[in-house]
């Protein structure tokens, strides 16, 4: 089974490092983007199984990243235009706070690989 490919979009260096290390220790492939422009550059260049998205970014919001990525076809729903590739499931873990458990992200990783 291939490793889950995750894009972590988080501008806080300490938080992104903790989450990245935790996910990598569990065998996942993790790329990190720190702002709107770098997030879109990652999404345009590669398909990810899971995107962990911070809402409060320095240049725009996470909602802006999501809207642009969907409109450009970088993120698609199950049964969407790229049916031969893994579908992206959008399932927010936490919108109002920066607190979440690493277990909730790991559970999302498992769900992202389930057909």
* Residue-level pLDDT at 82: 45
pLDDT one-digit tens code per residue, 37-95: 999 999 999 988 888 888 889 999 998 998 898 888 887 655 444 444 434 444 444 44
| Buried-exposed string 69-97: b where 16+ CB fall within 10 A, e elsewhere | beeeebbbeeeeeeeeebebeeeeeeeee
* 5-112 topology per CATH: Rossmann fold (3.40.50)
* Residue-level pLDDT at 107: 63
pTM of the model: 0.72
Question: What ranges do the domains of the chain cover?
Answer: 5-112
pLDDT one-digit tens code per residue, 98-110: 455 556 665 655 5
């Amino acid at each position: 089974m291939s490793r889950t490919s995750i894009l972590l979009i988080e501008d806080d260096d300490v938080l992104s490092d903790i989450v990245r290390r935790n996910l990598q220790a569990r065998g996942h492939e993790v790329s990190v983007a720190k702002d709107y422009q770098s997030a879109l550059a990652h999404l345009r260049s590669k398909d990810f199984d899971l995107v962990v998205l911070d809402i409060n970014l320095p240049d725009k919001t996470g909602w802006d990243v999501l809207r642009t990525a969907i409109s450009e076809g970088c993120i698609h729903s199950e049964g969407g235009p790229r049916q031969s590739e893994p579908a992206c499931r959008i399932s927010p873990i936490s919108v109002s706070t920066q607190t979440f458990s690493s277990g909730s992200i790991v559970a999302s990783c498992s769900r992202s690989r389930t057909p």
